[in-house]
Amino acid sequence: MSYHANEKGYYGEFGGAFIPEMLYPNCEELRQNYIRIMSEPSFQEEFHQLLKDYVGRPTPLYFAERLSEKYQTKIYLKREDLCHTGAHKVNNTIGQILMAKKLGKNRIIAETGAGQHGVATATVCALMGIECVVYMGEIDIERQAPNVARMKMLGAEVRAAKSGSRTLKDATNEAIRDWINNPVNTHYIIGSVVGPHPYPDMVARFQSVISEEIKWQLQEKEGKENPNYVVACVGGGSNAAGAYYHYLDTPEVGIIAVEAAGKGVNSGESAATSALGKVGIIHGSKTLLMQTEDGQITEPYSISAGLDYPGVGPMHAHLYKSGRGEFISITDDEAMTAGLEMSQLEGIIPAIETSHAFAIFDYKKFEKDDVIVINLSGRGDKDLQTYIDYFRL
């Protein structure tokens, strides 16, 4: 049994491509070519060169001594916070911009909620000198002004989605409409392991560099490739997919996924998608999503903008349903406390998304000899104001 996507893009019962007829040619072009292009030596060479010289890979695998001491187990941190632009997202946008070039595209579109994926996309478009249009809900444009400014500074055009709730899902609709109207010259860069096949699998493969590195780094430090557990926070699930990727079919490595409970799983203000989700279709993919009795998507809530997504990628829905992954929900308060603790124990201020992953120790006990790898998905600079307001610093 494999926990990777099959040829049709299914992880168990989840995944696939549920798209309007008019989008079929775009997805089909990508589906027919992505694996072939990714395995070309020239692609691999350029991808790895950019990851090294531009992104700053390999990112360190750091033994967190004081954190380990406190929780009486061996904790390693995979430092994706040290990637250029401050998080793992750029691994995927580098991969996809190279894919777009190979497919002969000269225009990029993307959607963004908090703006982090928009910034990572605008960054690689600037790097390649390619036109970039980012769709963003009108409300999010107001809430995330610094990221809007970053995207503009990088030369991207930010277009406001003014329909519906004027947030992420409306921006996604606008981006899909754009893609339908510009099928020949435009590539749509999706920012997580979500969307119709082949996106979840393609994005997971680009992010898989994370666990590829963990394996040899752990071999160097511990004399073995496999940790006892690999832990990551899950919004759409891309940093988690990258951290799990090379361990998915290794049952002795435990997989722990951390979701945002917001104000509590049963508070009505939550983003604990797997715990609360039911099977449905979002963004062209069959997965678990938060919805009302009659199938309307529920607005998610989390203090961290990056975990504030009503669905979860099909890989994670399958990990949840099959029991391969252990899912833990962490509230805003628990995450904020863990973020502060992490800052003061290790001198690393994590993104609030990542702080959720550091809060698992109240829920999960480890043995003294266990080796735990936590994926430190991003740095907390972007969240400083939220930390300051929360702790009245």
Residues labelled as active-site residues: 89, 111, 377
- Closer residue to ligand PLP (CB): 74 or 348: 348
Sites for ligand PLP among residues 116-135 (CB under 6 A):
116
- Closer residue to ligand PLP (CB): 74 or 304: 304
**Binds ligand PLP (CB under 6 A): choice among 67, 87, 119, 282:** 87
**Binds ligand PLP (CB under 6 A): choice among 237, 284, 300, 325:** 237
**Binds ligand PLP (CB under 6 A): choice among 238, 270, 274, 329:** 238
- Closer residue to ligand PLP (CB): 272 or 351: 351
Q: Which of 316, 332, 326 is nearest to 273 (CA)?
A: 316
To ligand PLP, the closest distance from the beta carbon of 176 in angstroms equals 19
CA 245 → CA 12, 109, 116, 174, 256, distances in Å?
16, 27, 23, 31, 13
To ligand PLP, the closest distance from the beta carbon of 180 in angstroms equals 24
To ligand PLP, the closest distance from the beta carbon of 305 in angstroms equals 8
- Closer residue to ligand PLP (CB): 172 or 192: 192
> What is the identity of the amino acid at 217?
Q
Q: Does 303 bind ligand PLP (CB under 6 A)?
A: no
**Binds ligand PLP (CB under 6 A): choice among 137, 235, 262, 300:** 235
Sites for ligand PLP among residues 305-364 (CB under 6 A):
306-307, 351, 353-354
* Per-residue x/- track, 18-47, ligand PLP (CB under 6 A): ------------------------------
To ligand PLP, the closest distance from the beta carbon of 387 in angstroms equals 14
To ligand PLP, the closest distance from the beta carbon of 367 in angstroms equals 27
- Cα 301 to Cα 207: distance, rounded to the nearest angstrom: 26
Whether the Cβ atoms of residue 277 and residue 311 lie closer than 8 Å to each other: yes
Q: Does 239 bind ligand PLP (CB under 6 A)?
A: yes
Per-residue HEC secondary structure of the chain comes to CCCCCCCCCEECCEECCCCCHHHHHHHHHHHHHHHHHHHCHHHHHHHHHHHHHHHCCCCCEEECHHHHHHHCCEEEEEEHHHCHHHECHHHHHHHHHHHHHHCCCCEEEEEECCCHHHHHHHHHHHHHCCEEEEEEEHHHHHHCHHHHHHHHHCCCEEEEECCCCCCHHHHHHHHHHHHHHCCCCEEECCCCCCCCCCHHHHHHHHHCHHHHHHHHHHHHHHCCCCCCEEEEECCCCHHHHHHHHHHCCCCCCEEEEEEEEECCCCCCCCECHHHHCEEEEECCEEEEECECCCCCECCCCCCCHHHCCCECCHHHHHHHHHCCEEEEEEEHHHHHHHHHHHHHHHCCCECHHHHHHHCHHHCCCCCCCCEEEEEECEECHHHHHHHHHHHCC
- Closer residue to ligand PLP (CB): 235 or 277: 235
Q: Does 211 bind ligand PLP (CB under 6 A)?
A: no
The residue nearest ligand PLP at its CB is 378
The number of angstroms, rounded, from the C-alpha of 336 to the middle of its chain's C-alpha atoms is: 20
To ligand PLP, the closest distance from the beta carbon of 357 in angstroms equals 9
To ligand PLP, the closest distance from the beta carbon of 369 in angstroms equals 29
Q: Which of 258, 259, 247, 249 is nearest to 371 (CA)?
A: 247
- Closer residue to ligand PLP (CB): 174 or 383: 383
Sites for ligand PLP among residues 99-118 (CB under 6 A):
116
- Closer residue to ligand PLP (CB): 328 or 351: 351
**Binds ligand PLP (CB under 6 A): choice among 234, 258, 290, 374:** 234
**Binds ligand PLP (CB under 6 A): choice among 50, 233, 340, 359:** 233
- End-to-end Cα spacing for the chain: 50
* Site residue total, ligand PLP (CB under 6 A): 19
Residues that bind ligand PLP (CB under 6 A): 87, 89, 116, 192, 233-240, 306-307, 351, 353-354, 377-378
